[in-house]
Each structure stands twice: as structure tokens, then as C-alpha cells.
Structure 1
């Protein structure tokens, strides 16, 4: 229980972002995640094509 009490006390000391800053940060995280998904999707498709081509 000591761990949870200390964790709650530490969370009270955190300065959480407000309003516009929070929305901006969330948008950046979502955009970055989407870009990674697109990038790795393209890489996966390309590697699949290359492996299939050489497997024939």
C-alpha cells in the first residue's frame, strides 16, 4: 500500500498540460503514429513483394 500512497503523492506534484497544449500534443502523437503505420505498411508490402518475386 505504501507504493500506491507514494505514487498518488507524486502524481499530485505533476504539472499537467492544459487545453490547447494538451490538444496539440495529442495531435502530434496521433500524427506520428499514423505516419509510422503508413511507413511500416509500405515497407511490409514492398518486402512481401520482393520475397514473393524471388520465391517464384
Structure 2
């Protein structure tokens, strides 16, 4: 039990040292992340569609 208490005490102490992003930074990082995810999703969807059509064309 003492080890567990010490562990959580250390966690709290380390969390106080963390430099948390400001609201503006967080919003910017979130927008960048979502934009990147959407771009990659559309890119791979287009690649997948193109390869699927190419395979169907070859097999027919």
C-alpha cells in the first residue's frame, strides 16, 4: 500500500511540472490534427477507389 501511495504522490508531483498548452494552442493543434486526418482519409479513399476500379478493369 505504501508503494501505491508513493507512486501517486510522484504522479501528482510530476503533473505539476507539466507545461499544459494554452487554449489558443490547443485549438490550433486540434484543427491541424483534424485537417490532417481528413486529408489522409480522403487521400487513401481516392487511392483505394482507383485501385479497385483498376482491378475490376483488369479482371473483366
Normalised by the length of structure 2, the TM-score is 0.76
Number of residue-to-residue matches in the alignment: 55
Structure 1 stretches of 4+ with a deviation exceeding 6 A read none
Q: Which has the larger radius of gyration?
A: 2
Give the Cα separation in 1 of the matches to 2:11 and 2:33.
25
Give the Cα separation in 1 of the matches to 2:46 and 2:58.
18
Any gaps of 5 or more consecutive residues in structure 2? none
Any gaps of 5 or more consecutive residues in structure 1? none
CA RMSD of aligned residues (A): 1.7
